[in-house]
């Protein structure tokens, strides 16, 4: 299962990875408090999630320092919008540089 499938609700509306939990973890990466490996372990992610997590982390690392903190608001909004059905998985992925 890909990381996006854990963030988005399944056909029954169940969510495996909460919006706030994921955005908080990415924020901690952005400010240098957590590594990708620490986040992966803390969230109980699997090897199949690594590629998309790496893509998001690379996106964060490519941002200018001043934009990294603002990114937290963007990821929070995108997570909630995805989980509420306001945007598609394709839109979510394109905004975060995921494939």
Q: What's the predicted TM-score (pTM) here?
A: 0.85
Name, in order, each residue with C-beta under 8 angstroms of 65's C-beta and a sequence gap of 6 or more: none
Q: From first to last of its 99 residues, what are the pLDDT tens digits of the chain?
A: 689 999 999 999 999 999 999 999 998 988 889 999 999 999 999 998 989 999 999 988 898 988 887 888 889 999 999 999 999 999 999 988 888
Write out the residue range of the structural domain in which residue 23 sits: 3-96
Q: Distances from the Cα of 76 to the Cαs of 3, 24, 38, 47, in angstroms?
A: 16, 8, 20, 24
DSSP class of residue 34 equals S
Number of domains composing the chain = 1
CB atoms within 10 A of CB 10: 11
């Amino acid at each position: 299962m890909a990381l996006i499938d854990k963030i988005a609700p399944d056909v029954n509306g169940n969510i495996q990875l909460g919006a706030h939990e994921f955005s908080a973890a990415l924020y901690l990466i952005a400010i240098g408090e957590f590594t990708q490996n620490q986040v992966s372990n803390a969230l109980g992610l699997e090897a199949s999630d690594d590629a998309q997590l790496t893509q998001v982390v690379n996106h964060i690392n490519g941002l200018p320092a001043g934009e990294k903190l603002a990114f937290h608001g963007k990821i929070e909004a995108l997570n909630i919008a995805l989980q509420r059905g306001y945007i598609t998985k394709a839109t979510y992925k394109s905004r975060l540089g995921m494939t």
